[in-house]
Amino acid sequence: MARTTGSHSEITGPRVREAALRLFARHGYAAVSMRQIATEVGVQAGALYNYTPDKQSLLFSLMRGHMDELLAARKALGEEGSPTDRLERFTRFHISFHSERPEAVFISYMELRSLEPENFQIIESLRRDYENALEGILRDGMDSGAFTVADPKIATLAVIAMLTGVNTWYRSAGRLTLEEVEQIYWDMVRRCVS
Amino acid sequence: MARTTGSHSEITGPRVREAALRLFARHGYAAVSMRQIATEVGVQAGALYNYTPDKQSLLFSLMRGHMDELLAARKALGEEGSPTDRLERFTRFHISFHSERPEAVFISYMELRSLEPENFQIIESLRRDYENALEGILRDGMDSGAFTVADPKIATLAVIAMLTGVNTWYRSAGRLTLEEVEQIYWDMVRRCVS
DNA sequence: GTCTATACCTCGATAGAC
DNA sequence: GTCTATCGAGGTATAGAC
């Protein structure tokens, strides 16, 4: 892991982000030092500042990148089909997307309070966009009579909380395959809104 | 807020815990310094060490106290009635108990990673006790035919995640009363398992 | 682009006066 | 029981050599 002088910007940049992602997720933003990140990458602390203006920007960039990916992937699901079909797609998508990047998910939920106010507002707004996508499905289903939901706003938050909870226990080497987990949760979500 | 020399142990002790609870919840354990806590209480940093051997013990004591309260209150719900009745009691209890102490709940979920290993094991074990109480209700309901649940372990985690999510948005001055929130969630939980 | 060195600050925790 | 003062460690970020 010892490093000598040289240029490695194309390699080191991503490695800084990966190390920060892993360490922030494991120990928390405030508990991780720039020196630790540098050690993980194999450079000295000063070298990190070639890739980020400061520690806060590094956190924000990770969270922003995650939310942008999430929203783009959600959009790619499309709007075709019945509300029930769309809700099933959303449910399965949420579980599989989140299970593939547990560290980014964890940071994006846990480190909101570590963001400076302007950065917080931006991430919060992106998250609301995501919630609104689900709420739209639920409202369409209420209008068409497919769903019975007392309060679509609350049902949205309840479903997302339930689905995101998968990340606290799911391991790909565990008792259930991801497909089985998706099926179990889809059964519960479907019954929740019918 | 300026303080003079004197003895105030009966007052200061609880005040230290309250200040730590509030600050840990707002900014995170790692981001809060003993000096900040002392300032909030109105003493100097050194004086805190009359009430806790160190910062870690303060965190653990807060989390331990919360879990003990939670388990005692859950036990007081009793085991009488049908599985459906018990599930309704559990659901309403979880929501109201958690909504009354959002800071302790927040810390107990978010700061698990800030605990030293031995302390972590203790809190995790208490949390499993709580989950097992709900799982027992679900299993009894499956046995009696009242519930249809594909996987009681997963349903337990799903229901708890859904219910705990209330704390992320519920405010007592908001659009809905706590009773209304409880009713909405009970409807969703009931349908989830039927 | 990375290094070494360092400025400057804040941390947790302790010692000893009152 | 609280104060002031302080220790030693470690924090972010920058400067300048290579």
**Model confidence over A49-83: pLDDT tens digits?**
999 999 999 999 999 999 999 999 999 999 999 99
Across all strands, nucleotide nearest A32 (CA–C1'): D11
Determine the distance in angstroms separating the CA of A4 from the nearest CA of chain B, rounded to an integer: 33
Higher-confidence residue of B62 and A11: namely B62
B-chain residue closest to A106, CA distance: B110
A10 — pLDDT class (breaks 50, 70, 90)? confident
A33 touches strand C (CB under 7 A): no
Same domain? A2 vs A65: no
Please tell me the predicted confidence (pLDDT) of residue B72: 98
Scored b (16 or more CB within 10 A) or e, B83-93 reads: bbebbbbbbbb
**pLDDT tens, B103-115?**
999 999 999 999 9
The Cα A29–Cα A57 span in angstroms is 12
Nearest to B165 by CA among B85, B105, B90: B105
Same domain? A16 vs A102: no
Same domain? B30 vs B71: no
User: Average of pLDDT values for B130-144?
Assistant: 98
**pLDDT tens, B3-34?**
456 667 789 999 999 999 999 999 999 999 99
Across all strands, nucleotide nearest B55 (CA–C1'): C12
B1 — pLDDT class (breaks 50, 70, 90)? very low
Is B192–A194 a contact, with Cβ atoms under 8 angstroms apart? no
What is the C-alpha R_g of chain B?
Answer: 20
Same domain? A31 vs A69: no
User: Average of pLDDT values for B44-49?
Assistant: 96
Nearest to B158 by CA among B134, B182, B140, B181: B134
Is B162–A164 a contact, with Cβ atoms under 8 angstroms apart? no
Contact (CB, 8 A) for B184 and A154? yes
CATH code for the domain in which residue A75 is found: 1.10.357.10
**pLDDT tens, A75-113?**
999 999 999 999 999 999 999 999 999 999 999 999 999
Same domain? A78 vs A164: yes
Higher-confidence residue of B53 and A8: namely B53
**pLDDT tens, A118-171?**
999 999 999 999 999 999 999 999 999 999 999 999 999 999 999 999 999 999
Q: Is the pLDDT at A4 greater than 90, yes or no? A: no
Same domain? B43 vs B120: no
Same domain? A182 vs A130: yes
Its domain, for residue A9, covers: 1-52
Please tell me the predicted confidence (pLDDT) of residue A2: 42
Across all strands, nucleotide nearest A5 (CA–C1'): C2
What is the domain count for chain B? 2
**pLDDT tens, A168-188?**
999 999 999 999 999 999 999
Which tokens sit at B166? 């209330």
Is A28–B26 a contact, with Cβ atoms under 8 angstroms apart? no
Which tokens sit at B171? 């405010």
Please tell me the predicted confidence (pLDDT) of residue B2: 44
Is A160–B165 a contact, with Cβ atoms under 8 angstroms apart? yes
Residues of chain A neighbouring B184 (CB-CB closer than 8 A): 150-151, 154
**Where is the domain boundary, A9, A24, A52?**
A52
